[in-house]
Structure 1
Amino acid sequence: MTTSPPGTSRAPAAAAAPTTRLAGMLPTDPLLLRLSLLTLLNAFGRGLFFPVSVLYFTRVIGLSPTSVGLGLTVAGLFGIAAGVPAGRASDRWGRRPVLTVLWIGCGAALAAYTVIGSYASFLATAIGYAALSQASMGVRNALYADVLPAGARVEGRAHLRMVTNVGMGVGGAFGALALQVDSRAGYTALILLDAVAFVGSALMVFRRPGGAARRPVDDSPSPSRWRAVRDLPYLSVTFLNAVLALQYSLLEVGLPLWIVQHTDAPRWSAALIMILNCVLVALFQVRATRGVSDLPGAVRAMRRSGLLLALSCAVFACTAGLSPVGALAVLVVGAVVQVLAEVLSAAGGWTVGYGLADARAQGVYQGVFNSGQAAATMAAPAL
């Protein structure tokens, strides 16, 4: 994995790149500070929408849970397909213009949710939102590749992931309030607030969060337009990273069902595990990047992540037949092991995803890498 196929230009490892200079939640580096504020706003908006979306579609719009699930699955397929074209567009026209348009489109799609009145309009809006949102993630990651120094890129991504967890946690708390009120007005207000957050994020990107508006100029021969989708080593790594990404749906879907159907643990244990996960990831993600600044270190981190993830699943399985208190205690142990796997897989995935990509086409490469994770997210509930 550490060698590049002939004819490609991989991102160089900057031996003396400046550090991100983290100091608690807010970094002292001006560029990373701007990216942190941008990430916080975007994550807060997504945290608002995440807990209320399905209930809004079923209780307010009046759609059946089955039809909503089918519609979101179809939308997810369009989201997977959107990553590569958006990445190619950002390689050609620049990260910021493309990301600005995508995030404004996300805001418009969210606002459209408040006026839908039929299944056809729901499906069209869900497809539009999924495609725009998923496409924006790959372009955003390519923007990080452009503006963060290579030697500090993984540490910077770790800090931004910590900020993402905090933003989504705060947004989720407001979402919980809307769930308690359970009114159309409350759901609508949160959806529109998320739309405003997307537009605000787009404006912050447009006003230059640091770095060049277009990708760095490279005098070497331009790579094939769709090289990433034919780069078999990179596709193999993308697939393996997607396997590790199944752990996110394990926590969101698989574990809650396991707790309710096969253990005597309290039902609220699933919520406790999610809260514990958010807190521990925020605490340990930056620390987990140490030793993962090059490809060999990333390979080791991802190998350890896979082993720890397997161990956490075995621990979770041991909760069947235990007393409520015992099952809860073992679930917490499994959750801690899973967090260690999660922070290592994230750090390793960032390094591999950037390090094995052609530096002249980060947009399309990050689109491919992100599409692999999106495919895992879509397939995981059925698995």
Structure 2
Amino acid sequence: MTTKTTSAPIPATPAPTPRLSGDPTVRGLAALLSVNAVGNGLFLTISTLWFTRGLGYSVERVGLALTVAGLCGIVAALPAGRACDRWNAKSVLTCLHLLQAAAIALYAVADSFPVFLALACLATAGSRANAAARGALYAHVLPPDLRTRALALLRAVNNVGIGAGAALGSVVIVFDTDAAYRGAVCLSAAVFLLALIPLRAIPAPTRPAPAQPPRTARAATTRRGAPVLESGRHVSHPLRDVPYLAVTALNAIVNTLYVVLEVGLPLWLLTRTSAPQAMVGWLLVINTALVVALQVRAARGVTGPVQAARAFRRGGLLVAAACLAVACSADRSPFTATVVLVAAVVLLTLGEVVSQAGSWTLSYDLAPDHAQGTYQGIYQTGISVSQALGPGLLTAFVLPHGIVGWAALATLFAGAALALPATARWAVRELREAR
């Protein structure tokens, strides 16, 4: 964005803040995400029981399949993002929804382990590619001055949808029959097809400019390793964009907070504290409710890379404090351990909503406009790596070492949070020079 300058300062008139309510694009995206979230919440709630009880696979085999699937997910985001830049994010999302619907539907009859493994890889790769394609769609259809607030609203909608799907899954578990589980799996698959209706209603995104220059154009080279046409248009090679890769890595570290919430905290509660086992579910409920209540508020004021980096730093430090609080719950009375764990989840959730508001803005503002899909693919790849490696990190290096392990993890989160602002400034300087 450029501004005119004059010889004398002129008081700026604040531009009116765009309203989310009534925006047809935001409404369409909210409908798409809510439908998706209900299906995801339902499937996540019943999938493990269906895999082990319905299909009859051992916990070890299911764990192996999901680990391999997670590794497949790492390599899926970048190709999806590049496809969105080359063609159209809506078209790519449509194909991915069809793929995911087919893979999940076939779970209902996957009575062969090789077939089950292949389906797990397809479904997980489709999920990570879907996240990258949605990121590209947001970049293409949401105005920059509306994007962060819209994403905060969409994230709250997503959490509500997951909660509704989980509630539906809980009803299925009450019946606890193969027919009920199989029906829930098929319903989850059908939801991906149902989501194509609001997806089709979203206005077609503007097709990005080609990522490659004409053969006749002469190019110079920037310090980012990306050619620049004589007209000044920047042609990016994101895998050589070191500042953006550094921001992606720091974001991936802090995004391990989700593994802490979903894996580390429950295992710690069950094995190292005297808190009631039922608190595992209630801690997740507290997290979901707080995200719904606070995410939009946390995104206010995050309007550029500087504010985003500061928000990310605050969020990362709150996550570090949450890890220290978790460590303090060991060897306490049941009541004290419960109170400390609730406080830890509150800190973790505050860190989550604040850091995510900064993360979204950085992921878009530090990327060139014509290559948003590819850059979102890079960003999602970093998140996929953290989701794949996080459980092993927690179970091998954090939980066995108790308080020392949690303190080391807190140091890692704090270090990433403190390093982010300087890294973001570096990325901004490089992008400005490239432009």
In the TM superposition, what is the alpha-carbon distance from 1:222 to its structure 2 partner? 6.5
CA displacement, residues 34-92 of structure 1 (integer Å, 9 cap, x when unaligned) = 11111110111101100111111111111111111111111111111011111111111
In the TM superposition, what is the alpha-carbon distance from 1:217 to its structure 2 partner? 8.0
Partner of 1:347: 357
**CA distance 1:46–1:213, shift in 2 (3 Å):** farther
Q: Secondary structure at the match of 1:381?
A: helix
CA distance in 2, matches of 1:305, 1:71: 33
Partner of 1:253: 263
Q: Secondary structure at the match of 2:109?
A: coil
Please say if residues 108 and 182 of structure 2, whose CA atoms lie closer than 8 Å, have aligned partners that are also in contact.
yes
1:298 to 303, 308, 322: 308
Please say if residues 95 and 213 of structure 1, whose CA atoms lie closer than 8 Å, have aligned partners that are also in contact.
no
Partner of 1:210: 203
CA displacement, residues 210-242 of structure 1 (integer Å, 9 cap, x when unaligned) = 242633689964625xx1122111111111001
**CA distance 1:18–1:362, shift in 2 (3 Å):** farther
1:329 to 339, 343, 350: 339
- Which ranges of 4 or more aligned residues in structure 1 deviate by more than 6 Å? 13-18, 216-220
- What residue identity is the alignment partner of 2:387? T
Partner of 1:193: 187
CA displacement, residues 184-216 of structure 1 (integer Å, 9 cap, x when unaligned) = 1111111111111111213432x2412426336
CA displacement, residues 90-139 of structure 1 (integer Å, 9 cap, x when unaligned) = 11111111111011111011111111111100011111111112111101
CA distance in 1, matches of 2:148, 2:18: 10
Partner of 2:74: 80
Q: Secondary structure at the match of 1:319?
A: coil
Task: Pick the structure with greater CA Rg.
Answer: 2
- What residue identity is the alignment partner of 1:140? R
Task: Flag structure 2 segments of 5+ consecutive residues without an equivalent.
Answer: 4-12, 212-230, 394-435
**CA distance 1:350–1:17, shift in 2 (3 Å):** farther
Please say if residues 96 and 214 of structure 1, whose CA atoms lie closer than 8 Å, have aligned partners that are also in contact.
no
In the TM superposition, what is the alpha-carbon distance from 1:19 to its structure 2 partner? 4.6
CA distance in 1, matches of 2:112, 2:232: 52
CA displacement, residues 273-327 of structure 1 (integer Å, 9 cap, x when unaligned) = 1000000000000000122111011111111111111111111111112111111
- TM-score normalised by L of structure 2: 0.80
- What residue identity is the alignment partner of 1:212? P
Partner of 2:19: 21
CA distance in 2, matches of 1:156, 1:234: 23
Partner of 1:68: 62
CA distance in 1, matches of 2:207, 2:124: 25
In the TM superposition, what is the alpha-carbon distance from 1:342 to its structure 2 partner? 0.3
Partner of 2:159: 165
Partner of 2:253: 243
- TM-score normalised by L of structure 1: 0.91
Task: Flag structure 1 segments of 5+ consecutive residues without an equivalent.
Answer: 1-11
Partner of 2:84: 90
Please say if residues 315 and 333 of structure 1, whose CA atoms lie closer than 8 Å, have aligned partners that are also in contact.
yes
CA distance in 2, matches of 1:303, 1:321: 31
CA distance in 1, matches of 2:347, 2:94: 38
CA displacement, residues 147-167 of structure 1 (integer Å, 9 cap, x when unaligned) = 111011000000000000000
In the TM superposition, what is the alpha-carbon distance from 1:254 to its structure 2 partner? 0.5
Q: Secondary structure at the match of 1:114?
A: helix
CA distance in 1, matches of 2:103, 2:61: 19
- What residue identity is the alignment partner of 1:66? E
**CA distance 1:325–1:199, shift in 2 (3 Å):** same
Partner of 1:223: 235
CA distance in 2, matches of 1:196, 1:214: 29
CA distance in 1, matches of 2:129, 2:154: 19
Pair 1:373 & 2:366 matched: no
Partner of 2:327: 317
User: Percent of counterpart pairs with the same letter?
Assistant: 44
- What residue identity is the alignment partner of 1:194? S
Q: Secondary structure at the match of 1:292?
A: coil
CA distance in 2, matches of 1:20, 1:106: 35
Partner of 1:127: 121
**CA distance 1:71–1:16, shift in 2 (3 Å):** farther
1:360 to 361, 370, 373: 370
**CA distance 1:20–1:256, shift in 2 (3 Å):** farther
CA distance in 2, matches of 1:114, 1:59: 12
Q: Secondary structure at the match of 1:54?
A: helix
Length, aligned pairs only? 365
**CA distance 1:57–1:326, shift in 2 (3 Å):** same
Please say if residues 90 and 98 of structure 1, whose CA atoms lie closer than 8 Å, have aligned partners that are also in contact.
yes
**Which range moved further: 358-367 or 213-222?**
213-222
Partner of 2:33: 39
Please say if residues 141 and 206 of structure 2, whose CA atoms lie closer than 8 Å, have aligned partners that are also in contact.
no
Please say if residues 248 and 379 of structure 2, whose CA atoms lie closer than 8 Å, have aligned partners that are also in contact.
yes
CA distance in 2, matches of 1:45, 1:155: 24
